[in-house]
Amino acid sequence: MSAPRSMQVPAVPATRSGALAEGWSAVWAQRSARWGMGIVLAYVLAALFAPWLATHDPVAQAVEAAMQAPSTAHWLGTDSFGQDIYSRLLYGARLALAIGFGSVLLGMVAGVALGLIAGLAGGRIEWAIMRVVDGLLAFPELILAMAFLAVLGPGVDNLVYALALSFVGPFARTVRSDVLQVRAQPYVEAARLMGVPMREIVLRHVLLNVAPGIVVQAGIRVSIAILLESGLSFLGVGVVPPTPDWGLMIAEGRAFITMAPWISGIPGLALAILLVALNLLADGLRDALDPRSGETR
Amino acid sequence: MLNRLFAQVGQTALVLFFVSVASFVFLKLAPGDPVSLMLGSDYNKDSYDKLFTELGLDRPWAAQYASWLGDFVTGDWGRSFVSNEDIFRLAVMQALPVTLCLAAYALVLALLIGIPAGVLSALKRDTWMDLCATGVAVFGNAFPSFYLGIVLIWVFGVGLGWFPTLGFVAPWENLLEGLWYLTLPAITLAAWYIGLIARVTRASLLDVLGHSYILAARARGEGSARVVWVHAMRNVLMPLTTTIGLQLGGMLRGAVMTEVVFALPGLGMMITAATLNREYTVVQAGVMLSGLLFVIVNLVVDQLYTWLDPRLRRLA
Amino acid sequence: MSKIDHRSLLAAKLAKDFSRGRRALLGAGAAAGALGLAGIGSTALVSDAHAQGQPVKRGGTIRLGWIDALDTLDPHFTSSLGSIKVINNVFNGLLKVTWDGKKVGFEPDLAEKWDAVSDRVHVFRLRKGVKFHNGDPLNAEAVKWSVERVRDPANKSQHAYHFEDLTSVDVVDEFTVRLTFSKPYAFLPVALTGSTGRAGTIVCRSAIEKLGRDYGRNPVGTGPFKFVSWRENDSIVLERNPDYFEKGLPYLDRVEIRLIREPSSGVAALLAGQVDGLSLVPFQFVPELRKSPNIALYGQVEGNYSYVGMNNRKGPFMDVNLRRAVAHAIDRDVIVKQGYFGEAIPAFTPISPPMTPFYDVNIAKSSRGHRLDLKKAMEFRKKAADQSEVTPVYIVAEGFTGSGGSGTRISQLLGPMLAKIGVKPKVELSDRAAWLKRRNTGDFDMFDEAWIADLDPHETITPEWSTGRQWNFVGYSNPEFDKLVAEASDTLDTKRRIVLYNRAVDVLLDDAPLAMLAHRKVFKAFTRRVRGFQYIPVDLLNLHTVSLG
């Protein structure tokens, strides 16, 4: 999460050459990260090739075939409308990943920008920005998303905006404290004295140094986004049915948890596995991108 | 010191002001109002207009906000539009203690499970034990809490009958029964934090274990248990405190779904219901309280830092 | 539903009771006195529900899970059936609704005797010695004040329309009150019970004058239970009223109502035995509860109908042919099976089974009303002005399908059905507050909802579909319909009323501002230790005769 980052001793300036390849091999070197990456990749592929992999139309209802347990006809069973859960799961992966990554990306861009500005500008601007950020953080995420969604109206795009809003605060906060630490480093000071323009300092030194922390945080936040999204469906303001969406499937299936546990259980499990993978990947990224962790090896 | 405190208070007040304006604007912009909800299927224009006026909802937004703010700072938190309940009583006397109990219980559970899991996986890094501990910890926060809660209710409440399925009994009136009632909700809420705490513990322990002073201690021949628990853990406490600090605010907020599932009359339930009812006075009270808690927790965490880290103490 | 003609049985009973009174009012035979005119003698003894022959166990606390939301416990200002179910245990009306398993009846409650002096003048003799929970006496003054409170235009009660033709309320003596109407009022008995405890409920003047709007949180009534406390989002507690006027009742000492937002948690609590009953069972959980040997389910098709409303004022459904096409494209068997899990019957018209004799038990075999007929639907579709694909905005709010909220199930089921006639609704999901706003302001092309807990055709179609009336959200207007229902309301002769309502319904359904869906069952569930519950098919949960085994 964000917090430990701000307490850590800042990293040494990154060497540009081959950093990416090095980072990649460092991630790959870790078993759990490999697992994580493999699973996430599998999900992405499933989402991409959903139309080919699916056995049914994800929104085709079949009255006679409602609430059937997994079988050869319906590999993962059917829901209360007789829709094929396996096919809905595949299409649902698209939405889950789109909502997860979309909202985090959006929140990240806004949060990083605010954090950078606050950290670099200092003074009153910083103070003002951070008070706004504090305010955002004071809202319960779910409530913030709920209220914002009520304002914006229904729709997947609005859902992404609403979730993104709740991510602005945490990103801004982390980035700002990272920037403050990086800024205090002698080499940044030196660069400034050498007359390197601030913009370049920011891009070259600051952003590169805070990037690992942000990436790791983003990885974890993607799972939070998907969880929040399902929470909104639970409260009845999420994705519009019958859109194949995991959160919606879980929320709708909770009514049949004893009669037909697979309706909510299967999307729940799919979601859980994705989230575990994302977390493993994020952990791996942290270890790989954070040079200090190399010391232990 | 006093100056700093004043600055803090001022800052807090400003944040809370911002929060209240934001929640007010959100709820006003959102379509719908408490009166149409109250009338529901019995809607008619006359009753609607009368109630709307009676509740002061017809005034300009600025006037509504200003009168709310004026009353609020003088200690009159107003009344719920729908139920006419006194909001101070509702929020502070009723909802807040419920959420605090729930959060505290969940925190204790999360620490009791999360720290050992993190230590284990750090010490046995990259073994199957690491993978298991991480896996278990991580799985805890992989399910939506409403789903986890419902599953727990059916398994431990209905199936096995070990715990009550819902409701709240005040622990300050009957400690054991109160805890018994709160167990399933606390597990639901803690699940998210167990993984987090385990991860932070693992990461920072690994970090610390590589440091020279630990290597030195090891070289001196100190037992590895002692090294871990005395030298290393002390340094794990810092990031852990930060995480918990940040998350405690989040935990109070994360209680939203847990409270709805378990029918606990806490802050999360209150704010959710009020948001759906467009009761801006209740939402504002709730969000202000949640914001205030967030700020208080941050202050406490700051104090804990200086206490934990002698360097910071000197700086202060 | 049974095939017994409830209403005419009731009519016969009322007529008999009436002839015991002095005046043969209409002289129109048994059916004439059908509604509204009777002086019913003594109160039926209610406790015979404990027919098992075991002595009734007194005392104890019943814990109930309340899944439906509450607004206020002030009967004159509540719109929530969740509240009304509580209110009916705390308050009384002049009359009350009863159900003997076959027919709905209206029996005196606070009134001891009801005399119809003429078709517009009704005299009620009150029980003596009845006291409000705060000790105030219940007398003619109290009744007058209470009735006038609902009627007073200044109070803007949403139930005031029940008494819009009431010209005066007079105190004859301490325990006699006279209601004078400007015209015959067939709906009167229902209004006086307030249908389910609303307009005709007698409230306590001194408490209201003292508490104002807070009365809704601290109700004072005359009912079997006294109000103790209401903790928001948590619980409502009632306790036994030792001075209750029905001798020996109630049996329970205390009622603890737990307010539950999440229905699946409520069902779990019932199965775990943590609550003894549920105020409502969403259809999704009915199969589960039916399986359980420890649970008794009470539920029948009640006086309701669910429907799809189509906007007559704007958008594609201004075209009557498109509306007709929709009405005939809906497969109501699928709606019943999938939307309501089999716990409903298809609705051909808005007149529901408990509204005997208005309900035609052979409606399925007739040709009246809305029914699936794709050929007809296609014909209407071809006549529609817009021959391209139509995408009406369909507003929905999420929720479990219980007695009130309709959730999103219907919209999901309608999608494929309407696609067959080239109508592809654009479903827009929002929370209930936003949904209500859009419905009330006509910001939609279609929505689905249900009118519930109705006992008489008057309340089930008149305020809903008459021109400019309060619940006519789709903006339907047909003078012929208006005339027919207005005439029916003023008519006391049941046969004539049947004819009028049938004609009104035919006009309405031909114009199809709504497409009929289903008449639904409404459930209460109790564990087996709960005894003596008397089911009344207007979504009531009366605890008067309930005891714990």
C523/C38: higher pLDDT = C523
Distance between CA atoms of residues C502 and C484, nearest Å: 9
Contacts of A273 in chain B (CB under 8 A): 142
Q: Topology of domain C6-218+529-548, per CATH?
A: Dipeptide-binding Protein; domain 1 (3.90.76)
Residues of B in contact with C438 (CB under 8 A): 31
By mean pLDDT, which of A126-135, B299-308, C36-45 is the weakest?
Answer: C36-45
- For testing contact with chain A, the best of C398, C409, C417 (most A CBs within 10 A): C398
Q: B184 in contact with C at a CB cutoff of 8 Å?
A: no
Chain A CB contacts of C398 under 8 Å are: 233, 235-237
Q: What are phi and psi of C298, to 5 degrees?
A: -115, 120
Output the pLDDT for position C164: 83
Q: pLDDT tens digits, residue range C359-392?
A: 988 988 988 999 999 999 999 999 999 899 999 9
Among the partner-chain residues B147, B154, B243, the one whose CB lies closest to the CB of A3 is B243
Spatial separation of the C-alpha atoms in residues C449 and C52, rounded to whole Å: 40
Task: Please report, as a single letter, which amino acid is at residue C165.
Answer: D
How does residue C33 score in pLDDT terms, banded at 50, 70 and 90?
A: very low
Query: Residue C324 is which amino acid?
Result: R
Among A234-243, B132-141, B292-301, C84-93, top mean pLDDT goes to: C84-93
Q: How many residues are given for chain B? A: 316
In 3D, which of B112, B66, B27 has the Cα closest to residue B287? B27
* All chains having 3 or more CB pairs closer than 8 angstroms to chain B: A, C
Can you tell me whether residue C450 is helix, strand or coil?
A: strand
Q: What is the mean pLDDT of chain C?
A: 84
Q: Do C338 and A63 touch (CB under 8 A)?
A: yes
- CA dist A163 and A228 (Å) reads 8
Per CB-CB distance under 8 Å, the chain A contacts of C416 are 61
What is the least distance, in Å, from the CA of C412 to any CA of chain A?
6
Q: Where in chain C is the domain with CATH 3.90.76.10?
A: 6-218+529-548
Judged by a CB distance cut-off of 8 A, whether residue B209 touches chain A is: yes
Contact by Cβ (8 Å): C527, C295: yes
Q: Are B114 and C254 in contact (CB under 8 A)?
A: no
| B231: contact with C, CB 8 A cutoff | no
In angstroms, the separation between the Cα of residue B31 and the nearest Cα of chain C is 5
> Taking CB atoms and an 8 Å limit, are B246 and A223 in contact across chains?
no
* Cβ-based neighbours of C316, under 8 Å, separated by 6 or more: C322, C386, C390, C392, C423, C445
Name the band, by pLDDT with cuts 50, 70 and 90, for residue C69.
confident
Q: How far are the Cα atoms of A58, B60, B176, C169, C489 from residue C122, in angstroms, in the given order?
A: 62, 48, 60, 10, 17
Residues in C closer than 8 angstroms to B165, CB to CB, are: 265, 268-269, 272, 274
* Three-state secondary structure string covering B133-169: HHHHHHHHCCCCHHHHHHHHHHHHHHHCCCCCCCCCC
Indicate the residue of B246, B257, B287 with minimum beta-carbon distance to A2: B246
Q: Largest Cα–Cα distance in chain C? A: 70
Tokens 């109705």, residue? C454
How confident is the model at residue A209, as a pLDDT?
76
Q: Where are the alpha helices (DSSP H) in C57-127?
A: 81-90
What distance in Å separates the CA atoms of residue C220 and residue C74, rounded to the nearest whole number? 9
Distance CA(B105)–CA(A267), nearest Å, equals 30
Q: What is the share, in percent, of chain C residues with pLDDT greater than 70?
A: 88
Do A85 and A74 contact (CB within 8 A), yes or no?
yes
Which CA distances in Å does A233 have to A246, A247, A249, C227? 9, 6, 9, 36
Q: How far is A54 from chain B (nearest CA, A)?
A: 24
Q: How confident is the model at residue A19 (pLDDT cuts 50, 70, 90)?
A: low
Candidate from B80, B154, B265 with C-beta closest to C234: B265
Neighbouring chains of C at 3+ CB pairs under 8 Å are A, B
Task: Please give the distance of CA C84 from its chain centroid, rounded to a whole number.
Answer: 10
Distance from CA of B180 to the nearest CA of A (A): 24
**Range list for CATH 3.10.105.10 in chain C:** 305-521
Q: What is the largest CA-CA distance in chain A?
A: 76
Are C268 and B150 a contacting pair at CB < 8 A? Answer: yes
Helix (H, G, I), strand (E, B) or coil at C205: helix
C233 → chain B, closest CA residue = B265
pLDDT reported for residue A18: 57
C-alpha atoms less than 13 angstroms from C-alpha of B130 in its C-beta half-sphere = 18
Report CB contact under 8 Å: B210, A250: no
DSSP string, chain B: -HHHHHHHHHHHHHHHHHHHHHHHHHHHHSS--HHHHHHGGG--HHHHHHHHHHTTTTS-HHHHHHHHHHHHHTT---B-TTT--BHHIIIIIIIHHHHHHHHHHHHHHHHHHHHHHHHHHHHTTTSHHHHHHHHHHHHHTSS-HHHHHHHHIIIIIIIS--S-SS----TTT-HHHHHHHHHHHHHHHHHHHHHHHHHHHHHHHHHHHTSHHHHHHHHTT--HHHIIIIIIHHHHHHHHHHHHHHHHHHHHHHHHHHHHHTT--SHHHHHHHHHHHT-HHHHHHHHHHHHHHHHHHHHHHHHHHHHH-HHHHHH-
Residue A200 distance to chain B (closest CA, Å):
31
pLDDT tens for each residue of A152-207: 888 889 999 999 998 998 889 888 888 887 777 787 778 878 888 877 777 777 77
Contact C429 A61 (CB under 8 A): no
pLDDT confidence bin for C6, thresholds 50/70/90: very low
Cβ C513 vs Cβ C474: under 8 Å: yes
CA-nearest residue of chain A to C398? A236
> How far B103 CA sits from the closest chain C CA (Å)?
18
Query: To which CATH superfamily is domain C305-521 assigned?
Result: Dipeptide-binding Protein; Domain 3 (3.10.105.10)
Rounded mean pLDDT of C384-405? Answer: 79
B18·A131 Cβ contact <8 A: yes
For A254, the closest of B138, B147, B245 (CB atoms) is B147
Q: Which of A258, A263, A264 would best serve as a mutation to test chain C binding (most C beta carbons within 10 A)?
A: A258
User: In this complex, do B84 and C451 lie within 8 Å of one another by their Cβ atoms?
Assistant: no
C-alpha B30: how far from chain center? 25
State the number of CA atoms in the 13 A half-sphere of B111 facing the CB: 14
B residues 52..91 contacting A (CB < 8 A) = none
Say yes or no for a CB contact (<8 Å) between B239 and A148: no
Return the residue of C nearest to A79 by Cα.
Answer: C338
Q: Which token pair is A54?
A: 């699916």
- Specify the pLDDT at position A32: 73
Per-residue b or e along B119-141, where b marks 16 or more CB atoms closer than 10 Å to that residue's CB? bbbbbebeeeebbebbbebbbbb
The verdict on C288 touching A (C-beta cutoff 8 Å) is yes
Cβ of C385 under 8 Å from any chain A Cβ? no
> What is the DSSP code (8-state) at residue C482?
H
Per-residue pLDDT, A5: 37
Contact A240 C429 (CB under 8 A): yes
Residue-level pLDDT at B1 = 59
| pLDDT (tens digit per residue) in C125-182 | 999 989 999 999 999 999 999 999 988 888 888 888 888 888 999 999 999 999 998 8
Q: Which residues of C touch B36 (CB under 8 A)?
A: 433, 436-437, 440
Which residues of chain C lie closer than 8 angstroms to B46, CB-CB? Answer: 153, 156
Q: Which amino acid is at A225?
A: A
ipTM of predicted assembly, 2 dp: 0.85
Option in B30, B34, B269 nearest C233 (CB):
B269
Q: Please, which pLDDT band fits residue A23 given cuts at 50, 70 and 90?
A: low
Total residue length of chain C: 549
Write the residue in B37, B166, B270 that is nearest to C436 by C-beta.
Answer: B37
Q: Which of A149, A237, A248, A264 to mutate to test the interface with C (most CBs of C within 10 A)?
A: A237
Averaged pLDDT score across all residues of chain A: 82
What is the predicted pLDDT for the residue at A20?
A: 62
Chain C positions in Cβ-Cβ contact with residue A57 (cut-off 8 Å) = none
pLDDT digits (tens, 9 = 90+) for C185-201: 777 777 777 555 567 88
Residue for token pair 């790989």:
A288
For residue C10, what pLDDT is reported? 41
Q: Which of B26, B29, B41 to mutate to test the interface with C (most CBs of C within 10 A)?
A: B41
Distances (CA, A) of A199 to A11, A58, A117, A205: 20, 49, 11, 10
pLDDT at B316: 42
The verdict on a CB contact (< 8 Å) between A276 and B238 is no
Residue ranges for chain B with pLDDT beneath 70: 1, 211-215, 217-219, 221-228, 231, 246, 249-250, 252-253, 309-316
Lowest mean pLDDT among A102-111, B306-315, C315-324, C510-519: B306-315
Q: What's the CA gap between C41 and C20, in Å, rounded?
A: 9
CA distance C334 to C344: 11
User: How far apart, in Å, are the Cα atoms of B38 and each of A8, A292, B35, B92, B277?
Assistant: 53, 59, 5, 24, 9
d(CA C457, CA C502): 10
